[in-house]
Structure 1
Amino acid sequence: MQPADPEPSLTTGGKSADQYNGDVAIQWAALQLKITKTTPGFTPPVASRAYGYAGVAMYEAIVPGIINRKSLAGQLQGLTSLPQPEQSKTYNWALSANAAEAAILRSLYPNTGTPNKASIDSLETALQTAYKDADETVNQRSADFGKKIANALFEWSKTDGGDAGYTRNFPASYIVPTGAGLWQPTENGQKIPMLPYWGQVRTFVKANSDLPMPKPLPYSTDSKSATFAQYLDVYTKSKNLIQTEKDIAVWWADNPVETFTPPGHSYSIARIAVLTDKASLAKAAETFARTGIAVADAFTLCWRCKYTYNNIRPYNYVRLAIDPAWIPFWPAPPFPGYPSGHATQSSSAAIVLTAIYGENFAFIDNSHVGRARDVLRNVDFKARSFTSFLQASQESADSRFYGNIHTHQDNETGLAEGKKIGANVNALAWQK
């Protein structure tokens, strides 16, 4: 890797990025969440990658205007350098962020529908109008810089192995491993599991790629084994779910198409944190960058582990070893079980958000308020309150146990690995 370009000094003549409110970042995050929900092929791993690049674009478009923060160029894998602003020239950092987000979303979601493309255009125009300076030269210079950042980052993204992942969620060429204890189709009948090669995607942070892979318990159907006990717990819970646990299972389910996916839920919580804190543009952009990187790397490593061990889902194990007629509360996703993607990504996001906002940051998660009642499961979508990000991540993990999709082992491993991933994101040199 070549060294990054020298860090520029803060440009002069205008406001720093800390002096703008976070509205530009908040509105673009909201639009990306909507686009993810309504664009074909944006399964959780694919979506996590998009949040990662969009978060980095937001941050890099304004970091020359943040007094005490530095670029991630030279720190993220394969990102050797980025365009630099003109020295001693004035920039409007709100317009730089605005242009960068518009450009990166157009690139990351080329297959999205006409209404979403129109929404990108209209939001870009509205924010350009709302935040423009009297000096049109400053406006143009700022927007041009944001576009250059987005274009450079998109070119970099093409080299990570995940480009256009939305086109190959279920590759027909994949040969499904068979054998005792290995994944097999569940109740949805999907014969090819989702994104079996996603673990090969380049992580943003090298230290994450270097993490040792955790091993699951050895497979056994012996009723006295630790593995049997794991799946028996899932089966037992399915027989005595209380309403609160059903509410939690449905709230965190975050199925693609119906929602903005599990990593989108973490990105939504990041947005809620920005709103709750009334964060500046600088703090908001760092929030989305850290969260995006954390959930993207979490899904890559989680998928690497899933397809190394190809662990059987509770749906199949319970029917094989405990109750042939068992029906879980929530249908199993079409990919191996160990470890839990929910637990891994929500934990990694919680760690980076805690680093920014503190251990005792209370917030209300209203991510799904307004959704129609789940009549089948007798659940309404009511906002949930938390006293910390880690508390929310624990509930996200628990939700998969309540849904009878994951064992405790899946969740505990995911939470532990997610903390390591988030810590490595925090360990980047964010501060000058």
Structure 2
Amino acid sequence: MNRFKFTLFFATLILFSCNKEEQYAEVSAEELHASVDQVTNIMVHDIFSPPVASRIYAYANVAAYEIVAQSSSNYNSLAGQLNGLDSIPKPKRTSHLNYRMSALIAHIEISQYLIFSEDKMIQYKDSLYSNWKKTNSQEFESSMAYATEVVDHIKSWMDKDNYKQTRTMPKFTVQSDNPERWQPTPPSYMDGIEPHWDKIRPFIMDTASQFRPIPPPEFSMEKGSKFHDELMEVYTIKNKMVEDGDESEELQIAQFWDCNPYVSVTRGHLMFATKKITPGGHWMGITKIASKKAAADFEESVYAYTKTSLAIADGFISCWEEKYRSNLVRPETLITKYIDENWAPVLQTPPFPEYSSGHSVISGAAAKALTHIFGENFSFSDDTEVIYGLPVREFQSFNHAAQEAAMSRMYGGIHYRSAVEVGMDQGAKLGDYLVNTLKMKNSKDPIAAN
């Protein structure tokens, strides 16, 4: 009897140990959102320019998405769809492999490779990885091994996009004797940012000029000309906003969509910077908001981030091709020189040419992608800017948000109307092209309808 009891106890102990070892980690959409937020926070700290930030989001999201597509019949690989991307390797072994874990690891590792403050990402991931390893070490090691293979594959593809070559190209030459060409603006008078971004390999576009917009209005300081009328509109709007004070709706919109990653502030002899998210970071925040409202699972959220970030990344390439081609002067330069030397825009003028409006282009593109993912008339509360002391704004659709983001540039005094309206059209055309070209999700139903 005692021998029987001992045998039963020993068998139960073995069974319990096996069950404990076979526990698996739950990798949820919430962990994905937290990791994207961590990347955004680090990029704010590191002060990445909007185009460079968009590249980081896109590559990290594609890395995660390709693993999702490997494990789910509902999603198609982007190999052969994105320029230069070949199929990622298949896992050498599937025993104990957690595809969600591999996808999130790939997202984190690519992000860490592209940011500056690696220590901040290392601290974040070490805590996450440690928990996974404690839950099931075999699962973690297997998932990490596969993620590493995919990361190496994505890095090889990424390193051929001409980014490294553009780091050694010359600065932009300012035509200081030509009044219609862009001039550096106060307070920092910075050089033009990323003048060679048009040489970055696009993700889906054939060339950077594929969606080149119509030319801006012909430069003229004569009263009654279209260009002069648009210049005076910027001047007049700012003055009216000052009269209306903090209750001005235009002022609130301008501040909400500022998204300037580096604002120089001068106090006496001291100059310092205030940091914010980039326009792309704001739209990544909106993607999170929509995903959570739609109760999107991990795979659906990866899909949403990927499609939206691709629209944004190519939007910046398209826009920057036009910016440094048309090389148009900013309103602030002309107004302070010819109209009112004491005038200043509500928003700090960013350091690159005026036409077309970058925020307008990428907002138009992102809105098209998100509408395709979540459906028309998807209302949401945008709390992305709350951490910067701004209130939540309500939107009835992604297009509603995009329209407001675009107009914020004119309200802020940094763009003419044409740059805003044409920029939105430029982005919308790119967004339509992305939606109609990329075959990502087999189900045509919006996530919100699931």
Q: Determine if the TM-score, normalized by the shorter chain, exceeds 0.5.
A: yes
Runs of 4+ in structure 1 deviating by more than 3 angstroms, as ranges, are 86-91, 123-126, 136-139, 171-174, 207-210
Residue 162 of structure 1 corresponds to 163
One-letter identity of the residue aligned with 2:148 = K
Q: CA RMSD in A?
A: 2.3
Aligned-pair distance for 1:58? 1.7
Residue 13 of structure 1 corresponds to none
Residue 391 of structure 2 corresponds to 382
Could you tell me whether the CA contact under 8 Å between 2:205 and 2:314 is conserved in 1? Answer: no
Higher helix proportion:
2
Q: Does 1:404 align with 2:405?
A: no
Residue 46 of structure 2 corresponds to 39
Aligned-pair distance for 1:387? 1.2
Could you tell me whether the CA contact under 8 Å between 1:46 and 1:162 is conserved in 2? Answer: no
Could you tell me whether the CA contact under 8 Å between 1:208 and 1:421 is conserved in 2? Answer: no
Residue 388 of structure 2 corresponds to 371
State the alpha-carbon separation in 2 of the partners of residues 246 and 88 from structure 1.
Answer: 55
Runs of at least 5 residues in structure 2 that lack an aligned partner in the other structure: 1-25, 263-274, 443-450
Q: Single out whichever of 83-92 and 21-30 deviates more from structure 2.
A: 83-92
Residue 228 of structure 1 corresponds to 228
Q: Does 1:104 align with 2:113?
A: no
Q: Does 1:304 align with 2:302?
A: no
Aligned residues: 398
User: SS at the partner of 1:364?
Assistant: strand
State the alpha-carbon separation in 2 of the partners of residues 106 and 292 from structure 1.
Answer: 17
Q: Does 1:23 align with 2:23?
A: no
Q: 2:432 aligns with which of 419, 423, 431?
A: 423
Q: 2:55 aligns with which of 41, 49, 54?
A: 49
Q: 1:359 to 1:147 in 2, by over 3 A?
A: same
State the alpha-carbon separation in 1 of the partners of residues 121 and 299 from structure 2.
Answer: 26
Aligned-pair distance for 1:320? 3.6
Q: 1:333 to 1:150 in 2, by over 3 A?
A: same
Deviations 1:79-111 (A, max 9, x none): 1232123487563222112211221112111x2
Could you tell me whether the CA contact under 8 Å between 1:22 and 1:284 is conserved in 2? Answer: yes
User: SS at the partner of 2:394?
Assistant: strand
One-letter identity of the residue aligned with 1:112 = S
Q: 1:94 aligns with which of 93, 97, 100?
A: 100
Residue 197 of structure 2 corresponds to 198
Aligned-pair distance for 1:252? 0.9
State the alpha-carbon separation in 2 of the partners of residues 90 and 238 from structure 1.
Answer: 61
Residue 82 of structure 1 corresponds to 88
TM-score when normalising by structure 2: 0.83
Aligned-pair distance for 1:49? 0.7
Q: Single out whichever of 241-250 and 292-301 deviates more from structure 2.
A: 241-250
CA radius of gyration, larger in: 2
One-letter identity of the residue aligned with 2:163 = G
State the alpha-carbon separation in 1 of the partners of residues 358 and 320 from structure 2.
Answer: 8
Residue 356 of structure 2 corresponds to 339
Q: 1:124 to 1:216 in 2, by over 3 A?
A: farther
Q: 1:58 to 1:335 in 2, by over 3 A?
A: same
Deviations 1:117-153 (A, max 9, x none): 3123323434x359x5x5x544432222222222211
Q: 1:395 aligns with which of 404, 420, 437?
A: 404
Could you tell me whether the CA contact under 8 Å between 1:63 and 1:69 is conserved in 2? Answer: yes
Alignment of 1:352-367 (within 5 A): 352-367=369-384
User: SS at the partner of 2:388?
Assistant: coil
Runs of at least 5 residues in structure 1 that lack an aligned partner in the other structure: 1-18, 373-380
Could you tell me whether the CA contact under 8 Å between 1:232 and 1:322 is conserved in 2? Answer: no
State the alpha-carbon separation in 2 of the partners of residues 424 and 100 from structure 1.
Answer: 27
State the alpha-carbon separation in 2 of the partners of residues 319 and 392 from structure 1.
Answer: 31
User: SS at the partner of 1:385?
Assistant: strand
State the alpha-carbon separation in 2 of the partners of residues 196 and 210 from structure 1.
Answer: 15
Q: 1:182 to 1:124 in 2, by over 3 A?
A: farther
Q: 1:285 aligns with which of 302, 309, 322?
A: 302
Residue 175 of structure 1 corresponds to 173
Residue 17 of structure 2 corresponds to none
State the alpha-carbon separation in 2 of the partners of residues 174 and 405 from structure 1.
Answer: 20
Aligned-pair distance for 1:176? 2.0
State the alpha-carbon separation in 2 of the partners of residues 362 and 90 from structure 1.
Answer: 40
Residue 218 of structure 2 corresponds to 218
One-letter identity of the residue aligned with 1:268 = G
Alignment of 1:268-283 (within 5 A): 268-283=285-300
User: SS at the partner of 1:345?
Assistant: helix
User: SS at the partner of 1:206?
Assistant: coil
One-letter identity of the residue aligned with 2:50 = P
Q: Single out whichever of 239-248 and 86-95 deviates more from structure 2.
A: 86-95
Deviations 1:250-293 (A, max 9, x none): 11111215122111001111111111111011110111111111
User: SS at the partner of 2:348?
Assistant: coil
Q: 2:119 aligns with which of 87, 110, 114?
A: 114
User: SS at the partner of 2:194?
Assistant: coil
Q: 2:258 aligns with which of 253, 256, 263?
A: 253
The structure, 1 or 2, with the larger RCO (C-alpha pairs under 8 Å, 6+ apart) is 1
Q: 1:20 to 1:116 in 2, by over 3 A?
A: closer
Aligned-pair distance for 1:35? 1.1
Deviations 1:140-180 (A, max 9, x none): 32222222222211221111122497x67xx7643223423
Could you tell me whether the CA contact under 8 Å between 2:208 and 2:321 is conserved in 1? Answer: no
Residue 62 of structure 1 corresponds to 68
